[in-house]
Amino acid sequence: MKVFDTSDIRNVALIGHGHSGKTSLASAMLFTAGATDRHLKVDEGNTITDFDEEEVARKITIFSSVAALPWQKTKLNLIDTPGFNIFLPEAQSAMIAADAAVVVVDGVAGVEVSTEKVWQFAEDMKLPCIFVVNKLDRERSSFERAVASINERFGRAAVPVQLPLGEEKSFTGIIDLIRMKSFCYKPDADGKGKEGDIPTPQEHSADTAHEALVEMVAEGNDELMEEFFATGTLPVEHIVTGLKEAVASRRIFPILCLSASHNIGTDLALSLISEIFPSPNEIEKNVSPTDSVSAFVFKTSADPFAGRVTFFKVMSGLLKDDAHLNNMRSSVNERLAHIATPFGKTLQPVTELRAGDIGVVAKLKDTLTSDTLCEKAACSTYKGVEIPEPSIAYAISAKTRSDEDRLSTAIHKILEEDRSLRFYRDPMTKEFLLAGNGQQHLEVVVSRLKRRYGVEVQLHAPKIPYRETIRGTASVQGRHKKQTGGHGQFGDCWIRMEPLPRGEKFQFANEIFGGAIPRNFVPAVEKGIIEAAEQGFLAGYPVTDFKATVYDGSYHDVDSSEMAFKLAGRKAFRAAMQQAKPAILEPVMKVSVETPIDFAGDLLSDFNSRRGRISGMDIKGSMQTINAQVPMSEMLNYQNELISMTQGRASFHMEFDHYDYVPTPQAEKIIAAAKTHMTVEEEE
């Protein structure tokens, strides 16, 4: 592919709900533009932008991918993004490389859950957008109904620039409301429509829709408004320039219609994108081809053969092959050898890339997603997307010793690709945890570990890191005496135990006077108490938030030793626990749920059933945020139930907040379960 000037580049993200047809649209566009020699289908598992083995197997987009195509005098970098909720952070990361977005809407289902979320991403990034109503060849599809759902969610600024000719199986053409022409297609052909006049039965509806479009275009421009009032309409060239200006300022969001699977209307969509979407230097004033070279990394992937593959957008200057750029984060000088234009999993080598273009390079040493590369150390650092923390964590364990040896390396490579994952060891339960955006997200990781790296692992619910504590005080004696053939063992101490405020863990004090216990034996008492506390008392969970004070005791000149006083400390601890009102503590999570207001009442009731306490609520538009504190044990299955309660339209995040007492009924169950577990272990 030839090198394009910045003004001729269009970086376009395809966004929308899962199964709305984004990948099918990308495939149809590539075929129509001549970038592929046949129309590849998602159900055949061979599309350009869905090539990962997991995507092929599941027939969904999991990772964003880029494919470039030439259309008329422009180069379009299509960024195909995931549409299912659990993979949206991947879409959000990729959208930062786009200068505009095509929001794909299912012609049957209309606006769905993820459509609203990716729209919010686009709004936050101030991306110009157009809507494409896809799948209009399907049974029960309706362009009119889809437009109504778009207007309901996103306002009257979304306005049709096309109308369909026919519906469902009879959908065979499109009316262009800008040029007032019709285009008829042969399904599954080359995607090039045959131009003609608007059929008589559709003339009235087309005229009405054309007037509405012209009026919307004229509204925001004084010159066009004067012309509109004077003549009652606008010429095509003024509609196009006015629409381009309105789209760039996010004042108008054109609505198109098509069928990606039958390649109907793809050529018109490509032409409109080329005409009205801004080039990189129009949307970002600092994107300049004459400045020194700088680039922003928006995606990293791990290829089993090529190693680390880095996707970047050239932010300024002219990037030539084999350039040396400095990484602003790590200060490592990177050599960009064999730069290329991405075409799905294929890399098309180029000699140079202009500012605003998207490129890819393999085998950089220390460059990751969101890094800035530039010629000079003084260049500015470009800001990446802040990915929200994972909402769910599972314990992960290797199936065999061989898998265990290779797990860390394989996980590290996957973490480089997916910034929404976390892998860590819980210091309290000692388990390794893999955290992500949902159960399916983590299942994909497990499958990739096996397919790509030959590492087999198991996921299971994490252990609840319960703790034990005391509510009262106790003063007790711990005495260890044992006579053997030689020296005996003797240690005697008196300790006082009392509760500490939550989170204070453990304190030890020495109030021995007069040498009742020699100073060198006091640390042994403390060690004995600590070891006993680690083993727990009620249910085997570590005891925390208490203070132990040794204040008296006795010793024997010959038989006393550090071991004897450590054992005495252990006995004193257990005796004190019996008197000091022991209790179970549970971790309480800080939970934040963002939901449409319609579901807020049900979610509040659900939190009450989970022993949750509401700490605050906030309303923003049609969405409500509910903040609550809920025991961790009540949140293990929350994600699936939240999806069920809100039709998948709510999302949540949680993190550890504090420990609190477990109510008696639940505490009794925890203790009984622990005793059963210990009995089974003893029998084994």
What would the DSSP string read from start to end of 89-142? Answer: HHHHHHHTT-SEEEEEEETTTBS-HHHHHHHHHHHHTT--EEEEEE-TTSTT--
CATH homologous superfamily for the domain 294-374 = Translation factors (2.40.30.10)
Dump strand ranges (E) for 267-420: 294-303, 307-316, 318-320, 323-327, 333-336, 340-343, 346-349, 352-354, 358-362, 372-374, 392-398
- Most confident of the following: 50-64, 164-178, 411-425: 164-178
Instruction: Check whether 567 has a pLDDT greater than 80.
Output: yes
Q: How confident is the model at residue 214 (pLDDT cuts 50, 70, 90)?
A: very high
Distance CA(184)–CA(192), nearest Å, equals 9
Q: What is the DSSP letter of 472?
A: S
Share of the chain above pLDDT 90, in %: 67
Average pLDDT over residues 267-277: 97
What pLDDT score was predicted for residue 389? 79
Cβ within 8 Å of residue 379, ≥6 positions away = 292, 294, 328, 372
Q: What is the pLDDT of residue 655?
A: 82
Confidence of residue 286 (pLDDT cuts 50, 70, 90): low
Supply the DSSP symbol for 264.
B
pLDDT bucket at 44, cuts 50 / 70 / 90 = low
pLDDT, tens digit, for every residue of 483-519?
A: 776 678 999 999 999 999 998 999 999 998 888 899 9
CA distance 494 to 548: 10
pLDDT at 684: 47
Average pLDDT over residues 434-454: 89
pLDDT in tens, 336-392: 999 999 999 899 999 999 999 999 999 999 999 999 999 976 688 899 888 877 878
Grade residue 1 by pLDDT with cuts at 50, 70 and 90. Answer: low
pLDDT of residue 16: 95
Summarize the confidence of residues 412-417 as an average pLDDT: 90
- Please say if the pLDDT value at position 45 is more than 70: no
294-374 and 392-444 agree in CATH topology: no
pLDDT value of residue 261? 92
* Cα–Cα distance measured from residue 607 to residue 650, given in angstroms and rounded to the nearest whole number: 14
Q: Which fold has domain 467-580?
A: Ribosomal Protein S5; domain 2 (3.30.230)
Fold for domain 392-444? Alpha-Beta Plaits (3.30.70)
Please state the CATH superfamily assignment of the domain spanning residues 6-207+251-283 in this structure.
P-loop containing nucleotide triphosphate hydrolases (3.40.50.300)
Dist CA 238 CA 230 (whole Å):
14
CA dihedral 161, 164, 165, 167 (to 10 degrees): -170
Say yes or no to pLDDT of 293 above 90. Answer: yes
Res 323 pLDDT > 80: yes
State the pLDDT confidence band at 643, using cuts at 50, 70 and 90: confident
Residue from 469, 477, 495, 491 nearest 549 by CA: 495
CATH assignment of 585-666?
3.30.70.240
Predicted local confidence at residue 112, as pLDDT: 86
Boundaries of every domain in the chain: 6-207+251-283, 294-374, 392-444, 467-580, 585-666
What is the rounded CA–CA span in Å between residue 389 and residue 561? 51
The rounded mean pLDDT for the chain is 90
pLDDT tens digits along 47-89: 888 888 888 888 888 899 999 999 999 999 999 999 988 889 9
In the chain, pLDDT over 70 holds for what percent of residues? Answer: 96
What is the value of pTM for the model shown?
A: 0.81
The mean per-residue pLDDT over the stretch 321-345 comes to 94
Q: What is the pLDDT of residue 405?
A: 87
Q: Summarize the chain as % helix, strand, coil (round to 5).
A: 35, 30, 35
Is residue 677 pLDDT above 80, yes or no?
no
